[in-house]
Amino acid sequence: MDIQFKTDRLDKVCNSRKAREKEWGERRAKILGRRLDDLHAAETLDDMRNMPGDCHVYKKRTDGTLTLDLDGGWRLFFKPFHRPLPVLSDGTSLDWTKVTAVEITDMRDPHD
């Protein structure tokens, strides 16, 4: 899967183990690294359904945001990076089998 980042800063921090550890601590940095590796290895978003992290649509937003669980309530937020979005025949549901690129938008604890 192709991974883009919403900001240059997010790109730099997420793609450096040392920067991840400085920003979020060793444990969270390690888990984030594994989730990013899983995304890179996936051919389509549908592959993420069978990977750790409980990849799912974030129900508190209606803009197609998805999340992967990290630790302690923290989540990695991302969106399909396709225009137009690939949808199923119902015209509204995301076709996970056609998503081959994502944009990482945020990493935080949504409960705070």
| CATH code of 45's domain | 3.30.2310.20
pLDDT score for 91: 79
pLDDT score for 75: 95
Residue 37 has which token pair? 């590796």
Q: What is the pLDDT of residues 33-80, one digit of tens each?
A: 999 999 999 999 999 998 999 999 998 766 789 999 999 899 999 999
State the DSSP code for 16: -
Predicted TM-score (pTM) of the model is 0.91
Full domain range(s) for residue 97? 2-108
Tell me how far apart the alpha carbons of residues 12 and 73 are, in angstroms, rounded to a whole number: 23
- Angle between helix axes 26-41 and 17-24 (nearest 10 degrees) is 130
pLDDT score for 112: 66
pLDDT value at 103 more than 80 = yes
Helix, strand, coil percentages, rounded to 5, for the chain: 35, 25, 40
State the DSSP code for 106: E
Q: What value does the mean pLDDT of the chain take? A: 92
| Number of domains present in the structure of the chain | 1
